[in-house]
Amino acid sequence: MNKAIKCNSINLKIYVEDTDFQGVVYHANYIKFFERARSEFLALNNISQSKLRKNNLAFVIKSINIKYIAAAELGDEIVVNSVVEKKSDARMIFNQKVVNSKTGIEYVSGDVEVCFINLLTKKPQKFPDDLLLIFK
């Protein structure tokens, strides 16, 4: 079985820009919240996405499976929790949840499959060694 790693959680507050005309979070914004948490995971582990791009390497989304459970609203304080599991040397899956930081109400859960590719060839590439070491 592959090692699953609990990532640092990120805390966010829901602003007007995150909501639709009804004052609830627009559904696509949860995917943005997931992305912020994944980017933080990489940054906290000294993986620079801008440096990778300069070498024609990048993380791309292969699939997203998302379940909407409840609606976060304007002013809510949320936390994005993530657990990552390495599936291969070029693929990992993030299990992510958005919950209310005060009440614990779960708003959204999802699985995001991320692959590492060479941008020129569009082919899978082995993760950077620093990232592989995290999963040891």
CATH for 114: 3.10.129.10
Would the pTM count as exceeding 0.85?
Answer: yes
Q: Which pLDDT does position 115 carry in this prediction?
A: 97
Examine residue 46 and state whether it is found in any structural domain, yes or no.
Answer: yes
Q: Out of 20, 76, 89, 111, which one is annotated catalytic?
A: 20
Examine residue 8 and state whether it is found in any structural domain, yes or no.
Answer: yes
Q: Is the pLDDT of residue 1 over 70?
A: no
Q: What is the count of structural domains for the chain? A: 1
Within 8 A by CB and 6+ apart from 47, the residues are: 128, 130, 131
Q: Has 20 been annotated as catalytic?
A: yes
pLDDT digits (tens, 9 = 90+) for 25-81: 999 999 999 999 999 999 999 999 999 999 999 999 999 999 999 999 999 999 999
Could you tell me what percentage of the chain is helix, strand and coil, using 3-state DSSP and rounding each to the nearest 5? 25, 45, 30
Examine residue 136 and state whether it is found in any structural domain, yes or no.
Answer: no
Q: Residue 64 sits in which domain range?
A: 4-131
pLDDT digits (tens, 9 = 90+) for 75-111: 999 999 999 999 999 999 999 999 999 999 999 999 9
Examine residue 67 and state whether it is found in any structural domain, yes or no.
Answer: yes
